[in-house]
Amino acid sequence: MSNLPETRTSRVSVRLIAIQILVFSLLLTLGGRLWYLQIRNGQEYATEARNNHVQQVIEPATRGSILDARGVPLADNQTRLVVSASRTELLKMKDDGKAVLGRLAKVLGMSEKEIRNKVRLCDAKTPQPCWNGSPYQPIPITDEATTQQALQIRERSEAFPGISAEPTAVRRYAAPGDANTAQVLGYLSPVTDEEINKAKDTDSPFLRSDQIGRSGLERTYDRYLRGKAAVTRYEVDNLGRVIGQANSEKGQGGASVVTSIDARVQALAEKQLDQAMKDARKVHDKNTGTNYKADSGAVVVMEAKTGRVVAMASNPSYDPNAWVGGISGKDYAHLTGKDSNYPLLNRAIQGQAAPGSIFKVISTTAAINAGYDFNGHYPCTSSYSIGGQTFKNFEGEGHGDISLGRALEVSCDTVFYRLSHEEWKKDGGDKPKKDPNDWFYRTAHQFGLGKETGIDLPNEVTGRVPDRKWKNAFWKANKSGWCKQAKAWPKKKDFATKLAREGCLEGMKLHAYDSINYAIGQGDTLVTPIQMATIYGAIANGGTLYNPTVGKAIVSPDGKKVQPVRPTSHGKLPDSPKTLRQMDSALAGVATRGTAAWRFQGWPQDKIPMHAKTGTAEVYGKQTTSWFATYTKDYTIVMTIAQGGTGSGASGPAVRNIYNALYGVDEKGGIDPKAALLPKPQGSLPKIEGDGTIQAQPIKPYVPPSPSPSASESPQ
């Protein structure tokens, strides 16, 4: 018992020492941390602290205009009253701003649900409408507010915290003269956080307030059109009161893009394409027993000597103004739903189809380069048979022994069947040589097929040349599915199972029937209208394959700097000058005595030589695709209508009407220069004033010329 006080004293001493050590350790840690924060990283944290008390006010730049070749605005800006909501402010409220949005709905005459949908953030599971921009920038609710609505919001600001109503420059797609030009122009939507982070270290970073181009010219030339927003920075205290102005950045409006599009020709091309499709739907298809569906189409009008696009129409189309200020759920469903037929697609550069007989200019070149004589004699029989299969000429018609030129004029399939089959056999047939010539496939690649043309529009597709390389890759990708389906053979002998069985066993081979169909633009071959316009333009200009261009020049906001977009080439046709002259003559024959002659009756061929090629492509499970490829010395026009019937039947009248307008030709062949929209390509830019203003020429509706009294009667 005598040792008890000593033991207690010892324990107390140990505890005191432990506490001293703990306190000392804490002081040492705190001192180290203070050294790290104040000495080691003091400057960095001081800078961040200052920045926390800097607020910036952003004034978005006015986006540059997109103009046609004559200075007429296709896309510009107009001032509207825009009502926006700050998601950040709304989320600070107890009810997440529900009451405020409810009051706003009553003022604007909108439903609460519609407004809530507009301010919710987009993700993989959220349907449109939703906000796909930054959650920290004001979200536009409507850009169609009336002055009275804006005043109610501003005068009762205490009832609408987080809501603003300000006059703002809003994008406008003007459609001058009814030239919609939707797929060419594209549309805008807010920049996302991902895009901001990706571009922050580039020479063209995004601000959270930016709207950027999502398709068409708006996307291609976005960095020029967007301009630079003005940023004013203010120093504020902890209560948010401004105590000074920090460094600021001056803004600059976006540059204008002058295009080669002529709004008058564009409007006419859209109208003619639409009318051609409506007329096709009135025609009975004897193969299906119903009228043609004519459910989509495209037309390209291009300068033959430069590759500049004068008009480009795609049908079905849409109104790009639907995207301005945020697209509604109804409009979004209309544009993207299963029943929409996808109007956002630019079918001139994204629509792929078998080309039919307009492909025969490639097969003609292939035959000549393989050693066949253009003026030789080739049997044009009504059909051609191999291995128990019979391939018929169009409508079973024969023309005896004819030249390649005449085969183009009358579009004789069996001439090209035979030539392609002969070359296939020379290459080894089913057991090909080590290095086969593959003239017909090689020539298609030389014509630029199977790859992009290089047009200055986004998301162009490549089409397809079904050569040996493609066949092998396609077989490897589909072998498993084909072989699984082929197990039903021989109990199930329908066409699909038969094809699956053939694909499983021999899908890697280039068969005789592949080459025969390919020679007339059938089978697995796919092209786009812009590819065929580029090819026929090259035949017209002597062999140069131009990269098609829509942009013509970029004009700085002050008009002092003009950056031209010059035509560039991606190759030459694999034809000698002699072959080009021979094909040129044959294609003129198509328009005067061949398959397109009935559509060009009365055309002033002696003054404006016309060249053409018709195409009617068969598609498994669908009605035939109409193709019509034409050119003069100045222009190339290619039109296609899916499930539209024959080339000259469906597309011919529309193409003829566009040429009539370009040159001022009346129905009897008389020429009125005053009525001509574009008698020759326009190389100059519209007048640019010193302040950057671009003088637009007035848009006048096209009025067809009256028949000339001196014009001869059209041949029957």
Nearest to 256 by CA among 469, 69, 524: 69
Give the separation between CA 679 and CA 460, rounded to whole angstroms. 30
Residue 354's alpha-carbon distances to 548, 615, 629, 650, in angstroms, are 21, 10, 14, 16
Q: Are 82 and 190 in contact (CB under 8 A)?
A: no
* Mean pLDDT for the stretch of residues 170-192: 93
Return the percentage of the chain with pLDDT > 90, whole number: 62
Average pLDDT over residues 163-192: 92
pLDDT at residue 36 in the model = 66
Predicted pLDDT of residue 716: 28
pLDDT of residue 555: 95
Answer yes or no: are the C-beta atoms of 262 and 310 closer than 8 Å.
yes
Q: In 233-385, which ranges are continuous DSSP H helix?
A: 263-280, 329-336, 347-350, 360-369
Most confident option among 189-193, 557-561, 645-649, 660-664: 660-664
Write down the pLDDT at residue 242. 61
Of the chain, the percentage scoring pLDDT greater than 70 comes to 91
Confidence of residue 283 (pLDDT cuts 50, 70, 90): very high
- 680-693 burial, b for 16+ CB within 10 Å, e for fewer? ebbeebbebeeebe
Give the pair of three-digit tokens for residue 146.
């009336």
State yes or no: pLDDT of 248 exceeds 80. Answer: no
Question: How high is the pLDDT of residue 710?
Answer: 45
Which one, of 318, 323, 357, lies nearest residue 341 by Cα? 318
681 has a pLDDT exceeding 80? yes
- Report pLDDT digits (tens) over 319-376: 999 988 778 778 888 899 888 999 999 999 999 999 999 999 999 999 999 999 999 9
Kindly indicate the confidence band of residue 713, based on its pLDDT and cuts at 50, 70 and 90.
Answer: very low
Does pLDDT of 236 surpass 50? yes
241 confidence band (pLDDT: 50, 70, 90) = low
* pLDDT (tens digit per residue) in 20-64: 777 777 777 777 767 666 666 666 655 555 555 666 666 778 899
pLDDT digits (tens, 9 = 90+) for 387-439: 888 998 876 688 999 999 999 999 999 999 999 999 999 999 989 999 999 99
Tens of pLDDT along 501-560? 989 998 899 999 999 999 999 999 999 999 999 999 999 999 999 999 999 999 999 989
Instruction: Summarize the confidence of residues 133-152 as an average pLDDT.
Output: 85
Give the pLDDT score at 230: 78
Question: Which pLDDT belongs to residue 126?
Answer: 83
Per-residue pLDDT at 220:
97
